[in-house]
């Protein structure tokens, strides 16, 4: 158990809908990272927040957004969902904002029908 929690575990929705994925980092960790894992794209970094502020951006679509709240939990919002958004979405956390070790949550499996 990494100490990172994600909810929900599974999510099934329809195209055009909007969903919110939630992540709670390990106790004491200030950084939260979001990743998407799909069969064709592999594991892709989406976005990082550090202590409530956006720190780095990866291959995140404009239809997707994230935020980190004062209690350090984070939410990833996916809107206007398409079939191709079906994937595993992982959250990871680390102590600081840089290149230190990241600990991953169990993921949310999203299926868009």
Q: Is the bond leading into 8 cis (omega within 30 degrees of zero)?
A: yes
88 touches 108 (CB < 8 A): yes
Nearest to 110 by CA among 15, 1, 45, 5: 15
Task: Find the shortest distance in angstroms from Cβ 94 to another protein.
Answer: 10
Within residues 54-93, the interface with another protein by CB under 8 A covers 56, 58, 90, 92
The token duo for 73 is 């939990």
Cα separations (Å) of 30 from 39, 73, 85, 109? 30, 9, 27, 24
| Euclidean distance between CA atoms 24 and 46, whole angstroms | 17
* Residue 3 in contact with another protein, rule: CB under 8 A: no
Measured from the CB atom, the residue of 1 and 62 that comes closer to another protein is 1
Interface segment toward another protein; rule CB under 8 A; list 15-23, 39-47, 62-70, 76-84: 39-47
- Nearer to another protein by Cβ, of 45 and 79: the residue is 45
Smaller CB distance to another protein: residue 42 or 70?
42
- Does 101 contact another protein by CB under 8 A? yes
Residues in contact with another protein by CB under 8 A are 2, 4, 33, 42-43, 45, 48, 56, 58, 90, 92, 99-107
């Amino acid at each position: 158990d990494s100490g990172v929690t994600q909810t929900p575990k599974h999510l099934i929705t329809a195209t055009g809908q909007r969903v919110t994925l939630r992540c709670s980092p390990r106790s004491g960790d200030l950084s939260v990272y979001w990743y998407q894992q799909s069969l064709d794209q592999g594991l892709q970094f989406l976005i990082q927040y550090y202590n409530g502020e956006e720190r780095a951006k990866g291959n995140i679509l404009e239809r997707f957004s994230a935020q980190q709240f004062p209690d350090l939990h984070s939410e990833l919002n996916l809107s206007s969902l398409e079939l191709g958004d079906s994937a595993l979405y992982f959250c990871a956390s680390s102590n600081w904002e840089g290149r230190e070790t990241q600990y991953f949550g169990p993921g949310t499996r999203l299926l868009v029908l």
